[in-house]
Structure 1
Amino acid sequence: MDDEVLLVRLDAADMHVVWELRTSTETVGYLQALDGDTLWISHIGVDPRYRRQGHATRLLLAALAYAPDAPIALAAAPFPSWKEPGLAHESLRAWYARHGFRPDPRPEDPYYMVLQR
């Protein structure tokens, strides 16, 4: 795990935008989003061996820089990646809040959060 971790934006189909963090031998993390009137962040995942090193923040900052003037939203609902659980719901919401998101629950999505600029 001593390899440099590089951020790469992938060419994706349709309105999908994908960033990956990679070493020379493996994918460390990724962020998937849909680019429309609102940039919708659909998933951030980091390999458990690379967690707590700022990689999820690095991915999120890449997405925020990609759409500096667009509304950005997400559903802060945890689900496993790499076959291991991510952050618990309250911890996940707190992590997004530290990055400028605020809860904006909807009847159809109680986990909805938007970036407060």
Structure 2
Amino acid sequence: MKCVFQARHMIEAHMLANLLDQVGIMAQVQGDMLQGGMGELPAAGLSTVWVAANDEDRALEVIAEFEASQPADRGEGALTTGSAPLAGQGFLAGLLLGVVIGAVMVLMLFG
């Protein structure tokens, strides 16, 4: 058996294993149950997809085609040009509001 893919999470590993099964390559996911040990183990990269040694080249081709068909991963918290994520905008608005309210209360107490 050869490891052909290291997934970010178990869903990705099983999705890819099912894709390989659809094209006639028997695939096995290993390490997917280790994510239950988070805190003791790293949170990502534990799930791997394995195939028979003679299917390795074809499996790598299928995986490369799959990855090429996926939209670009901008990563968590990635910003598009000229904008901020909504969660970040809400945080900044709340922070600014808190500072203003705090300043008004301090002025009321000491003024």
How would you bin the TM-score normalised by the shorter chain? under 0.3
The structure carrying a bigger strand percent of its residues is: 1
Larger RCO (alpha carbons 8 Å, 6+ apart)? 2
The structure carrying a bigger helix percent of its residues is: 2
Greater Rg over alpha carbons, structure: 2
Output the TM-score relative to the length of structure 2: 0.24
